[in-house]
Amino acid sequence: MATGLSASPPVVVLLLSLLGVATAGKLLVVPADGSHWLSMREVVDILGQRGHEVVVVAPEVSLHIKPSKNFVMKMYSVPYTQEELETAFQAFFHGSFEEGWIFKRFFKVYKGMKTLTDCWITSCEQLLQNKELIRYLEETKFDAILTDPVATCGLILAEHLSLPSVYFLRGAPCGLDLDARLCPNPPSYVPRAFSDNTDRMTFLQRVKNLLFDIPNVFLCDFAFQPYSKLASEFLQREVTVQDLLRKGSVWLLRLEFVLDYPRPLMPNIIPIGGVNCAHKELPQR
């Protein structure tokens, strides 16, 4: 099992640079928008500067994913506007950080996630239906794919293109990534979202933690079932998101054990919490 070490951005770049031992490699990047991209961009930019051929696939409408001289940008059209996307993000984040009665918070998160998920599913549909872009990806012969599992379309493309996948993530909704990683996730120890518990719980708090696990079944169903259907149609065989998620070759976890709780990790899981601090300096005083 891996120890609780946290890798810095140069270490992450070194790991991904192993894609090509003697020559530069070809890397396909399918990112998730929002703050997820801000951390990944640091790694993608440096890989491009090191001579690797990096291709980023993203929708024309996004919050932060913009062209760069360090990578090739392949964009595809989507039917929603910039304003609609920003409204969806705001609805999700307001519900996530709002305080108050648990059921009220839960339904606000559900509503916000539903709106945001609809945008992502529509974006994924447009990508998979773009025959010209898919043909380009098939012909380019990439060495690997770097993706955030929240951008589930990356998992589908990895399977379609038969590419080893490197996951760059903080987590996935309803703890789906914990199941896919085959890591212990007991409710008697691991605090659940909205429970306000820590990893040290009384008996009643453990019972409360177990009850808070029940909504995850509902959340997972509505959040990932459309992707499972989309993947099955595109790959022309029955498949679930969890099936695709389990095929990750390397998991780069953007977490820091100082701010999180210790947990067992598999050998292919590497904590890289330091990447979140790239180019951020503390004041001298």
Q: What CATH number should be reported for the domain holding residue 42?
A: 3.40.50.2000
Q: Is the pLDDT of residue 4 over 50?
A: no
Tokens of 272: 């890289």
Residue 217 in domain: no
Residue of 164, 142, 191 whose CA lies nearest to 251: 164
Residue 155 in domain: yes
d(CA 185, CA 158): 27
Of the given ranges (74-83, 84-93, 138-147, 206-215), which has the lowest mean pLDDT?
Answer: 84-93
Structure confidence by residue, pLDDT tens digits, 133-172: 999 999 999 999 999 988 889 999 999 999 999 999 887 7
Q: Is the pLDDT of residue 19 over 80?
A: no
Using pLDDT thresholds of 50, 70 and 90, give the confidence band for residue 30.
very high
Residue 172 in domain: yes
Structure confidence by residue, pLDDT tens digits, 31-60: 998 888 988 998 999 999 999 999 999 999
Residue 57 in domain: yes
User: How many structural domains are present in the chain?
Assistant: 1
Residue 140 in domain: yes
Of the given ranges (77-81, 94-98, 165-169, 241-245), which has the lowest mean pLDDT?
Answer: 94-98
d(CA 237, CA 160): 11
Residue 252 pairs in a beta bridge with 168, 270
> What is the maximum alpha-carbon separation in the chain?
60
Q: Is the pLDDT of residue 121 over 80?
A: yes
Residue 74 in domain: yes
Residue 67 in domain: yes
* Cα-based distances in Å from 39 to 168, 256, 273: 9, 14, 10
In the chain, which ranges are continuous DSSP H helix?
9-17, 35-49, 82-97, 102-128, 131-140, 153-161, 176-180, 203-211, 214-235, 241-245
Q: Is the pLDDT of residue 7 over 60?
A: no
Which residue range(s) make up the domain with 56?
Answer: 9-80+130-182+240-277
Residue 119 in domain: no
Residue of 42, 43, 85, 45 whose CA lies nearest to 63: 85
Tokens of 52: 């690797």
Tokens of 156: 């589908």
Range with the largest mean pLDDT of 31-35, 221-225, 232-236, 240-244: 232-236
d(CA 186, CA 279): 36
Tokens of 17: 């640079």
